[in-house]
């Protein structure tokens, strides 16, 4: 699985103009399931992100994790993270998991993250979503498991 993790002061996702998910201080996590990904990989990705020390401590060092600071997360499906841009001008997405599998793994990831403690809200798989955020730092990290 792939994820693009952004430390945010706030983020929200809208579908048809209506807010369907949001977070205050915490993380915006864009997630993509790849072909042959498993639920074990979704759980490992959730654990890694929840424990990743990317929040500032009292000394201003990135020493605290989402779990340490009591933050929340907004998880949004993003199949375009599977983009293959090595040739031509049009990205290919053939390495992304099929939609049924991708949705199941996306949901499993969000549930696994929530089971670790943080409040988790989600986007709507397959929908045309508008995501807005205020990136804190900015801190943006690519993870692949």
| CA dihedral for 66, 55, 28, 22, sign (positive or negative) | positive
Q: Which of 19, 47, 8, 42 is nearest to 122 (CA)?
A: 19
The first and second tokens of residue 114, run together, are 């929530």
Contact 96, 82 (CB under 8 A): yes
Candidates 23, 41, 55, 79; catalytic one:
79
Residue 78's pLDDT is what? 95
Note if 38 is an active site residue: no
Candidates 35, 39, 80, 95; catalytic one:
80
Note if 78 is an active site residue: yes
What's the mean pLDDT when you consider all of the chain? 96
* Domain harbouring 65, CATH code: 3.50.80.10
Number of separate domains in the chain: 1
Candidates 41, 78, 109, 122; catalytic one:
78
The b/e string for 82-91 (b: 16+ C-beta within 10 A; e otherwise) is beeeeeeeee
Domain that holds residue 29: 2-144
Note if 80 is an active site residue: yes
The confidence band for 109, taking pLDDT boundaries of 50, 70 and 90, is very high
């Amino acid at each position: 699985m792939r994820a693009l993790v952004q430390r945010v002061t706030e983020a929200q996702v809208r579908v048809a103009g209506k807010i369907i998910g949001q977070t205050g201080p915490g993380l915006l996590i864009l997630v993509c399931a790849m072909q042959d990904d498993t639920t074990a990989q979704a759980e490992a990705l959730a654990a890694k992100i929840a424990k990743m020390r990317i929040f500032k401590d009292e000394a201003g060092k990135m020493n605290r994790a989402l779990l340490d600071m009591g933050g929340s997360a907004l998880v949004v499906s993003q199949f375009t993270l599977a983009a293959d841009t090595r040739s031509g001008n049009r990205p290919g997405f053939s390495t992304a998991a099929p939609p049924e599998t991708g949705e199941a793994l996306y949901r499993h990831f969000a549930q696994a993250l929530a089971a670790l403690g943080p409040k988790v809200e989600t986007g709507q798989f397959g929908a045309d979503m508008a995501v807005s955020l205020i990136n804190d730092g900015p801190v943006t990290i690519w993870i692949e498991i």
